[in-house]
Chains A and B, each alone.
Chain A
Amino acid sequence: MVSPPLWHLEDVRFAVPGREILAQLSLSLAPGRVYGLIGPNGSGKSTLLKLLARQVSSTGGTIAFEGKPLARWHDRDFARAVAYMPQFTPATDGMSVRELVALGRFPWHGTLGRFTAEDAAKVERAIARTDLAALAGRTVDSLSGGERQRAWVALMLAQDPRCLLLDEPTSALDIAHQSEVLDLVRRLSRESGAATGASDGGPGMAVVVVLHDINLAMRTCDELIALRGGRVLEHGPARELMRPDLLAALYGLPMGVLTHPVRDEPLGYVL
């Protein structure tokens, strides 16, 4: 069975006065896969993610999610389908982990709707899936950096979405917490079809993640989308993009690739 694309972007442009950030970008993303957006600073990765999240509007072209243009999605319907985490998560001002995660149910119950048993169950499941059960009563501010990121991921899971959008979720973390968070993201995408219970056993949750570290991206993602100067340089399975010529073109300096001695994965490095 050929599933329809989850995301379909055609000729998407985004410009601010005096500068074009994305130029004529076309992409198709399938459900159930982890996509990594890579590229140098200013290549438009974060902008592309914000466009997908409807945080900003494109200045041209069309973006469709599940075949429906973004502008035609209602706010809360869209938030039930797509969850977004900004690069800098805000201070949570004394909120507990469980309270934060419960905010993820807002798209479902709305301003005045009742917080049902189903809502509560979804919250608990999101907490369990991110291994936060022991910390659920703690305030978010008191957690470590990695735990805090996991709490935000749990909030996104509580939205019960079909796609996660993560903007550099590891930028402020040390190497141990980086892999903790990214392994979680990868695991969630793998198990999502069965574990959410809500879905019909179809393809699981898609993830689009902006990552700076090319090797972390290789480890985490099924496919990589290499952006440079607002254009897609190449889009394909992660392993296939790890070539010296592509990395050199992407970052504008000579790069090499060797094989990870244990994991048998390609590793990029600067020559």
Chain B
Amino acid sequence: MADVARMPRARRAPPLLWTGLAGLAAALFALALLLRAPIPGDPATARALEQVVLWQSLLPRAAVALLAGAALGLAGALLQRVLRNPIADPSTLGIASGAQLALTLSAIYAPLLGGLVGAVPREMVALAGGLAAVTLVLALGWKRGLEPVTVALSGMTVSLIASALSAALVLSHGEYVMSLFIWGAGSLHQQGWGGAITLLWRLVLGGAAALLLLRPLTVLALDDASARSLGMAVHGARLLIIAVAVWLAASVTAEVGVIGFIGLAAPAFARLGGVRAPRAMLIAAPALGAILLWLTDGVVQVTAAGGADAIPTGAATGLLGGPLLLWLLPKLAVVERPGLAAPAARRLRRPLAGLALLVVALAAVAALALLLGPSYDGWSLATGDLLADLWPFRAPRVAAAAAAGALLGASGTLMQRLTGNPLAGPEVLGVSAGAGVGLAAVLLTVAAPSVAMMMGGSAVGALIALLLILAFAAATGFGPERLLLGGIAMGATGLAILSAVLALGDRRAFLLLGWMSGSTDRVDGAQSLAALAVAVLLIAPCLLLGRWLDILSLGGPVAGALGLPVTRTRLVLAAGAALMTAVATFFVGPLSLIGLIGPHLARLMGFARGAAQVLAAALISAALMVLADWLGRTVAFPYQIPVGLFAALVGGPYLVWLLRRGPAKGA
């Protein structure tokens, strides 16, 4: 278990620390009891009501926090053991998001299908979703021997796709929007003991199963060959244990929604405290998980006691999760494969001709989007008067989509050159999510912000996220896979903050939700022209800086040796990339993944030099975004799928496919 053996061997003080933390959690709970607002009315009724609130809401809530935390801690410990992967947990493996997607699907479509599906219990639906997600993730990582980083990358990608799908579904059925979002972010609010009792049973059964599987669990800590030589049916035992873990995690998701990272943190803290043996881990991880979730919930309740709507506890644990992951990553024994940046197979003989072809393609796609569309009596080609009528509706959104796509493509190219990583991109590195956090900060602090202020806020947020990730990359030596994981952790943190704000459920939350899904359908003529102008203004200078891009992609040492002021040029390009991302996400949201795909396709087509790649990526991404926008408004006509989400549904599988191809054949 090489990965875990590398964890620092801590002094054996922690039992005391854990007891202290448990005490702190209890104290917070007591504080929350004291601080809650008094119930108005005559004293006798109020007292009776308070009794009800205490016994039917607050105490069950504490119990659910403890039980859900324990279940997640146990699930995390099992998964980490069985996959020999210290960053495996229900959230990094996509189990929680898969379960959530399944529940969203059933919530929306079960009524349509009548009693047949409606009779299936929520837990079974969640279990099916979680199992499907984890199966997909493991299948993706299988070829590379379930190696930790690949599994985590696939898991987070599957998570992202599942979340995008859930969000698209929720948005297209607006009546459910807010309640589903709050549930999705893991609100622990209770109205009785039902949830606690359900979870208790699951935990007892899961714990018993884990105890029965203790021996296989111990042997599985060895590598497969040794385990097999000890006479074990490796795959059978592994699948059984994974099934138990998924069932535990899916039960929690079905009961209280997505609660991220507890399953990651509990076993990690237990290991830090010196817990090694599987048996001790099976006790320590659930105990710590329970304490952690109760503590988080206590903090959430006490901070919310002022009267504001409670932040869902799951969003709060997401906040903890990102930094925790960033802290754990350097300790991972990752075999960095330099082959990830495998050579582009061929080069374009005449890049200018290629670029001209791309311009023609973009024009063709734009013409398609402007002219062709479905109406209530079939497809129609708009010409003459009809086109003149439709022009004010279609032209701005086509222009905005093209501008946003071009900006994302250029920004992705800059990031790939800056980090020397062909899988970098604004979405993957968490820069888009950073833009969202910046926007949220402006929305929360300014009463009626102007468009410029909101864009400024998201630009600052994006820049901070990008600088953080660059600093992280420098500290860990720019390993491509670690960088991606760090970026995804950053994105998870950002999205957790966003879901906390969304949970406020007021006007600002609706603005933010609109931002997240992309809003090309609300763009007016002036805005779209401004977007185009910004795209030209920001992308044109990059063409002059082709030499920087060529030299920087060779890495810091070589760039410095050639006399390029590395830090300054990196900062300039990072600022440019962040600005581009901020403007683009303003129109298409943070999830599109176009900023990853565009530059990648440009490379595959053979645009090897920096300046040519920027321009090619911008053109390709613009065409893709216009196409996604057009498809988003036609495939579900008369409904519209927001452009950002639609693009993510295309981009996510592409990223998965890239990972699946693996570095052996070239990324």
Binding site for B on A (CB under 8 A): 53-55, 75-80, 83-86, 89-96, 99, 103-104, 106-107, 111-112, 139, 141-142, 159
Contact = CB atoms under 8 A, between A and B. Distances in A.
A55 B562 contact: no
Contacts of B544: 111-112
Interface stretch (B43-51, B152-160, B546-554): B546-554
A94 B347 contact: yes
B603 A111 contact: no
B532 interface: no
With most chain B CB atoms within 10 A of its CB, the pick from A85, A86, A159 is A86
12 contacts: A76-B563, A89-B558, A90-B554, A92-B554, A94-B606, A95-B608, A103-B547, A103-B554, A104-B562, A107-B562, A111-B547, A139-B347
Nearest to A152: B558
Given A90-B554, A93-B344, A142-B343, A79 B563 contact: yes
Contacts of A83: 561
Contacts of A94: 343-344, 347, 603, 606, 608
Closest 8 CB pairs of A and B: A79-B563, A94-B608, A141-B343, A76-B563, A84-B561, A107-B563, A94-B344, A86-B557
A106 B557 contact: no
B420 interface: yes
Interface of B: 338, 341, 343-344, 347, 420, 544-545, 547-548, 550-551, 553-555, 557-558, 560-565, 603, 606, 608-609
A103 B551 contact: yes
A96 B88 CA distance: 42
Contacts of A142: 343
Contacts of B551: 103, 106
Contact of A106 (B343, B553, B555, B562): B562
A100 to B, nearest CB: 9
Nearest to A75: B563
A106 B561 CA distance: 10
A83 B563 CA distance: 10
Contacts of A96: 347
A99 B610 CA distance: 12
Contacts, number: 77
Contacts of B550: 95, 99, 103
B563 A55 contact: no
A122 B1 CA distance: 54
A163 to B, nearest CB: 12
Given A93-B343, A94-B343, A94-B606, A79 B338 contact: no
Contacts of B343: 91, 93-94, 139, 141-142
A75 B565 contact: yes
A89 B553 CA distance: 12
Contact of A93 (B341, B548, B564): B341
Given A86-B558, A94-B606, 7 more contacts: A55-B560, A94-B603, A95-B550, A95-B609, A103-B547, A103-B550, A103-B562
Contact of A90 (B545, B555, B603): B555
B171 to A, nearest CB: 39
A55 B547 CA distance: 21
B420 A78 contact: no
A78 B548 contact: no
Given A111-B547, A142-B343, A91 B338 contact: yes
Contacts of A84: 557, 561
Contacts of B560: 53-55, 75
B139 to A, nearest CB: 29
A75 to B, nearest CB: 5
A80 B562 contact: no
Contacts of A111: 544-545, 547-548
A80 B562 CA distance: 8
Contact of A159 (B420, B553, B562): B562
Contacts of A112: 544
B414 to A, nearest CB: 15
With most chain A CB atoms within 10 A of its CB, the pick from B560, B562, B565, B608 is B562
A90 B563 contact: no
Given A93-B553, A94-B606, A79 B561 contact: yes
Nearest to B606: A94
Contacts of A78: 563
A106 B554 contact: no
A199 to B, nearest CB: 19
A55 B548 contact: no
A103 B562 CA distance: 8
Nearest to B556: A55
A141 B554 CA distance: 13
Contacts of B558: 86, 89-90
A103 B102 CA distance: 53
Contacts of B562: 79, 103-104, 106-107, 159
Given A103-B551, A112-B544, A139-B343, A93 B608 contact: yes
Contacts of B563: 75-80, 106-107
B341 A91 contact: yes
Contacts of A104: 562
A43 B585 CA distance: 51
Contacts of B420: 90-91
Nearest to B545: A111
Contacts of A89: 558
A226 to B, nearest CB: 25
A78 B603 CA distance: 33
Contacts of B545: 111
With most chain B CB atoms within 10 A of its CB, the pick from A53, A95, A112 is A95
A3 B357 CA distance: 59
With most chain A CB atoms within 10 A of its CB, the pick from B341, B544, B563 is B563
A55 B338 contact: no
Contact of A55 (B344, B347, B561, B609): B561
With most chain B CB atoms within 10 A of its CB, the pick from A79, A83, A84, A93 is A93
Nearest to A86: B557
A137 to B, nearest CB: 10
A77 B553 CA distance: 22
A142 B344 CA distance: 11
A141 B547 CA distance: 20
B327 to A, nearest CB: 19
A95 B609 CA distance: 7
With most chain A CB atoms within 10 A of its CB, the pick from B347, B420, B557, B565 is B557
A95 B613 CA distance: 12
Nearest to A165: B561
A218 B587 CA distance: 64
A93 B548 CA distance: 15
Nearest to A115: B547
A155 to B, nearest CB: 8
B608 A106 contact: no
